[in-house]
Structures are given as structure tokens and as C-alpha cells.
Amino acid sequence: MSNRPNIVWINTHDVSAAHLGCYGDGYSTTPNLDRLASEGIRYQNAFASGPICSPARTSIFTGMHQTTVGTHHHRSFAIRPDFIRLLPEYLHDAGYVSTEINTDLNTPIDPHEWSRYLTADSILESDSSLPFFALFSYKETHASTFKMSPEEVRRERSNLLSEEQLHDPAAAPLPSFVPSTPLSRKRMALFYDTLTQVDCHVGEVIDRLRSKGLLENTIVFFWSDHGTGTPRGKTHAYDDGLRVPLIIRFPEKYQHFSPGPAGTVVEDITMTMDMGASVLSMIDAPIPDHFSGRAFLGDQKQEPRTYAYGARDRLDNCNEMIRTIRDGRYRYIRNFLPHRPYASFYPDGGFFTPAPEEGSPEHDLWDTSCLPGKEKLHDPDGVFLLPIPQSHSEDLIWGKSKPHEELYDVTEDPEEIHNLAFDPASAEKCTELREALYAWMMEMRDLGLIDEPEMIARAQEFDGVHFEVGATCGNFDRILETADCARLGSAGKEILHERLKDEDSAVRYWAVTGLMSYELDNDVTSAVEHLVNDESISVALAAADLLCRADCVVEALRGFERGLQSDVLWSRCRAGANLSYYGAEVLRQMTSLLPALRSALANQVCYGSYDPDVASLIPPVRSMYMAQKGTIAGNWVLNRVIRRIELAAAARM
């Protein structure tokens, strides 16, 4: 057996730290994880780099923030430069063998690299003396549990449990911003059942390592990709979406790597993207200079983080840009698209209005504002909870828009519901965290500042390598300055008007976008109207969106047409997604776009000149790539908005 440790990562989907027994949840049943924590180290303040699976995982396996690599949009296809490799390649160089890794990464995996991965079974059954890296990934806790019937969950995601192990819905804990109803408690209980099933899997892995005589030569990690798939968890930039469990067990022979004796709780801020650097440090392999992940273990251990950073960008249909920073006590959130709701699918009439009567024309149209079919039960949007009682009207999560800034004292307000951003007593802390966040965005060359269609257009010059778009951009400071203007009131509005004429299309995009935070008077619409013909599709679509919000629908049509005619899938998807948010009065005026929408649906090109050879992609990456065109852009956006326009037009007749 090698003197170097084997490394086992056990991970699950969609679990916040707060939901494990060893993190203090008295309702949760996680005996194997609780035992792992008592035999190992529990990290109290571990955070994902984003609250959505694929961007967060990319940061883990590349050791870099997704906003630097260009993998920050969920379901995307960012080609990496040669020097940005995945963690197993560094381990192979160090003499390790590796299992397959998570493949939902928003970046392709080279087929040769993929061919070197082994199965967990073959590694554990091997007599080889080579050290190994093995990943065991479980998905029962995935948010899709919320779109399954109780019978389906019992059959597929809690089938290892006895009836006595199932959780009592009547006792299920709910956050204060979620209405307390039998349905919401039942769904929460189902989630806890799936978590107990994952706990069973953890016990199985540990028992298997022990039976093979491997446990005392193996350092075992347990972690989750991001927070729980409940309202304001997954997809949201709060602790519920970003604070994750991280537990590491060190066998006796590797106790020198441990920060303390068994049962120690580490309060230092860590990020899951630090795990790769920490593994390389423990096996005495060099940590690449380009890593943003910081080693918190081993001989190359670095100073603890002062802050954890997070980014939320497009989720499927919904373009978004939220950045957040967390110190030991406070979380600051900057919403760069405050005119958009928190929900990816915002139901017609909002969350406080009952759905129209089923079978009525009104219900048919309402139904198209949500995910199609049973997909609409997929939380974290919370459509299944409609109508939300008016007593929850102060809870930001259910609103039609967002504040520019949020600040929470997580020690005093662990649910993060009392926004201190506009409290004069908190102004100094708000400024400190904002400035630190912006400095990080500049250091990381945050590609979220370059709107997705624009980023893809600029990447054509670099054969689809998004990273190079950021690396060669010399104007990030002015772009961020423009994106920040809407926060500054009337002074910001004057700057935004001025920058509508800027030579940089990324600046023009933020000038238009920022103006959507103000009253859309004639001065604004007349200044923006010509930009539907801007050479940048991102600018044209932002201008069209602003004009529709100002009821200048006819003037907006050209911008949507241009987006729908693009050979960039996410330009077509953006045009359709923006249309899907409008109500019946606006949609009735959009019938002339139906031919362009149908043509967009038929267009098979995704990324212009750097569309991949689909047949050359490894099967799981090929499946994810095809889902971008079929499920997301096709079913969830373009087909849905075609139906919305048709129904709105029919209702007028």
C-alpha cells in the first residue's frame, strides 16, 4: 500500500448544512453522517461557489471560480484553455488512479481523459498498490423530489428505509417565509426521507472501505454541491443556498493532516472549491498557480479565508446576475438585475394570487407562465404553494422585483429575512463588503459582467474559450462601474443615459439594463429606442425588454426578431424567455413574432462557429448538450412562449 492516502469523496445533491443532525437539525435522521463527524472534522462555515449544481461543481473540479472560466451559466458549453484541467488529471500526474467524476460541468471532458477514469467497483476490487481517488455521488436529495408524488419518492428515493424511518410531516420544520400548510410539511418530510437514504449510502461506502481493508488508508470527504432545493435554498444566494456540509475523516496514520482531534469543529471560512487544492497539498503535488481554491490542509496549507464569495447566473431559461460575499457574521448580496423576480418562473398574477379555475381560458394562459406539466412542481420557485398568504408579503422571495442590495447579520438573523442594507447603522459594514466584493470581481475578471450572448459572440475569436474573453478584456472597471450605477439614484441615471453611446457594447448593455430600475418615461424610451438595432444582440434584447416594460411594444419587435434569428442558442433563448415574462396585453401584440419563434425552434445551431461535433462528445456531456436545445430552449422557453402568444391572441378575439 502506498504511503500516500487514498482519497474518497462522497457527495450528494441539494443539501444545506443546516439540515444534518450533526449540524444541529433535531428533525433530521443522519446517524452515519453524525458518526463520520464524530470520528472526523466538521467544517461549520463551508460554502459553495454558487447555488446551482453545474457552476458549483465546475469550480470544484477546476479549482477556479466559474465566473473566471466562463462556466457560470447553468447548461452551457464553455471550452477551457489547455492549462485549465480537471482535478483527476493532476492526480493522474501524481500517480493516482481515479473514478469517473460528475459530468454536469458546463464544459466538455476530453474523450481521452474520460477513457482513463475507472469505476468505483474496479478500484475497490483491485489489488493494485496505486493510491486512488474515488467519487461516490448520490442524487436522492435532488430538488426534483418536489415534482414527484409521495409514491414515486417512496419507490425511488427512500426505498432503503423502513416505515419507521420515514419522517412525520406534522413535525417537519419550515422556514418562517414558507406558508405552514399540510402540503408544504409533507414535501419537506419527503426531502428528509431522501436525506436519510443518502445517509444509508454513506454508511454503505464506509462499511465497504472497512471490509476491503482500505478505511485506515483513506481520507473520506462528505460534501454537497449546494443548498437544499426548497424556497430560497437552491438557486438563491443565501446561506440556505450556499452553506453546505463538509465533513472529513482522517484515519490514524494521516492524523497529521487533520486540524484537530476527532470531533473537532472548524469555524474557519472554507469553500468547496478549496477541496482540490487541499487534496493536492496532502499528496505533495504542486498546486497550479491559476487555482483560486485555497488549500486548507497539508503542507501547502494557506491562511484561512476572510470571505466566501458566491455567484448566481442563468438558471436554464432565466438570465440572472447576483454576487454575494460572506464573512464570519454578515452576508452582503448585490442584485445586478433587480427588475427581475427571484423566481425563475414567475406565475401570472404573482405568488399571492390564486391560480385561475382549471379548465378556463385564464387558467390555460396562467399555466404557461410556469414550467410545463408536472415540472411546475419543481421547487425552489414555490408555485406548488400558491396562493402565498398576504401575511408573507414582506418576505422578499415572493416579490416581483429585488432590492439592489441586501445585508444580513447571520448570527442574529440566521434565516436572513431582515435586510440591513438600508439601515444607517449598518452602512459601514455594507460599504466594506460591497468594496471587497467588487475588488474580487475585478480580480477574478468576472465574466458575468459581459452578458451571455455578448460573451459567446466575443468567444468566436478564441474558438469558444470563454476564459480568453475575460483575460483580454481591458475595460472591466468601466463595465462594473456602469453596472453599479442603478444603485446610485438620480446621479446614476445621468451616467447611464450618457453611456448608452459608449463604444463598448458591454457598457451599453449595462446602461440599458440599469435604466430599467427607474421610471421609464419618454426621455428614457426615446434614448433607448434606436438600440434595438445595436450591433450587439445583448444590447438589442435589453432595449427591447425595456421598451416592452414601457408599453412601447411595436418599437421593441425588431430587437426580439434579431435575437430569434441569431445562430447563438442563448440569444434565441433570451428573446423567448423575456417574452415569456410579459402579460396578456403585451403578448397580444407579439403575434408577428410567431414565424421567427418557430424558426428559432427549428434552428439547430447553438454556438455559431464553434458548435461541437456532437458525436465526438462523451455520452453524458452529449446528453447535457442536447438538453440545452431540446428541453430548455425548446420546451421550457420557445414552445411555451409560442403557446402564450397564441392563447393571449385568442382571448382577445
Q: For 213-245, write each residue's pLDDT tens digit.
A: 999 999 999 999 999 988 899 999 999 999 999
Q: Average the pLDDT over 403-417 and give the result.
A: 98
Q: Would you state the pLDDT for residue 317?
A: 86
Q: Average the pLDDT over 128-143 and give the result.
A: 95
Residue 632 near residue 641, CB atoms below 8 Å: no
Q: Would you state the pLDDT for residue 553?
A: 97
pLDDT(2) > 70: no
What backbone torsions phi and psi does residue 334 show, to the nearest 5 degrees? -115, 115
| SS3 state of residue 581 | coil
Better-predicted residue by pLDDT, 303 or 148? 303
Give the DSSP letter of residue 465.
B
How many Å apart are CA 313 and CA 324, to the nearest integer? Answer: 12
How many Å apart are CA 340 and CA 381, to the nearest integer? Answer: 13
Please report, for the chain, the start and end positions of each structural domain, with discontinuous segments joined by +: 6-15+32-156+198-305
| H or E stretch at 366 | helix 361-367
- 594-602 and 639-652 helices, crossing angle to 10°: 160
* Cα–Cα separations (whole angstroms), residue 155 to 140, 147, 389: 11, 14, 33
Complete DSSP assignment for 56-88? HHHHHHHSS-HHHHT--SSS--PBPPTT---HH
The mean pLDDT value of the chain amounts to 94
- CA nearest to 573, candidates 536, 603, 543, 549: 603
pLDDT, tens digit, for every residue of 18-42? Answer: 999 999 999 999 999 999 999 999 9
How many Å apart are CA 303 and CA 295, to the nearest integer? Answer: 8
**CA-derived radius of gyration, the chain:** 24
Structure confidence at residue 425 as a pLDDT band (50, 70, 90)? very high
How many Å apart are CA 603 and CA 630, to the nearest integer? Answer: 11
How many Å apart are CA 214 and CA 206, to the nearest integer? Answer: 9
The type of residue at 84 is I
Global pTM exceeds 0.85: yes
How many Å apart are CA 544 and CA 575, to the nearest integer? Answer: 9
Tell me yes or no: is domain 6-15+32-156+198-305 CATH 3.40.720.10: yes
Mean pLDDT lowest among 183-187, 504-508, 559-563 = 183-187
Decide: residue 203, CB within 10 A, 0-12 exposed, 13-18 middle, 19+ buried: middle
Percentage of the chain exceeding pLDDT 70: 98
Structure confidence at residue 1 as a pLDDT band (50, 70, 90)? very low
How many Å apart are CA 441 and CA 310, to the nearest integer? Answer: 10
Q: Is the peptide bond before 372 cis (omega within 30 degrees of 0)?
A: no
Cβ count near 185 (within 10 Å): 19
Chain position carrying cell 428614457: 524
Complete DSSP assignment for 266-328? EEEEEEGGGHHHHHHHHTTPPPPTT------SSTT--PPBS-EEEEE--BTTB---EEEEE-S
How far from chain centre, in Å, is Cα 275?
Answer: 19
Complete DSSP assignment for 88-121? HHHHHHTT-EEB-----SSS---HHHHHT-B-HH
pLDDT, tens digit, for every residue of 338-387? Answer: 999 998 888 899 999 998 998 999 999 998 988 766 655 544 567 778 88
Structure confidence at residue 318 as a pLDDT band (50, 70, 90)? confident
| SS3 state of residue 512 | helix
How far from chain centre, in Å, is Cα 41?
Answer: 27
Residue 463 near residue 79, CB atoms below 8 Å: yes
Upper half-sphere CA count for residue 269 (Cβ side, 13 Å) = 20
Q: Would you state the pLDDT for residue 374?
A: 60
Residue 29 near residue 192, CB atoms below 8 Å: yes
Residue 563 near residue 572, CB atoms below 8 Å: yes
What backbone torsions phi and psi does residue 43 show, to the nearest 5 degrees? -95, 115
How many Å apart are CA 74 and CA 225, to the nearest integer? Answer: 13
* Nearby residues of 494 by Cβ (< 8 Å), 6 or more positions away: none
Structure confidence at residue 149 as a pLDDT band (50, 70, 90)? confident
How many Å apart are CA 283 and CA 219, to the nearest integer? Answer: 11
Residue burial 466-483, b: 16+ Cβ < 10 Å; e: rest: bbbbbeebebbeebbebb
| Sign, CA torsion 322/435/46/301 | positive
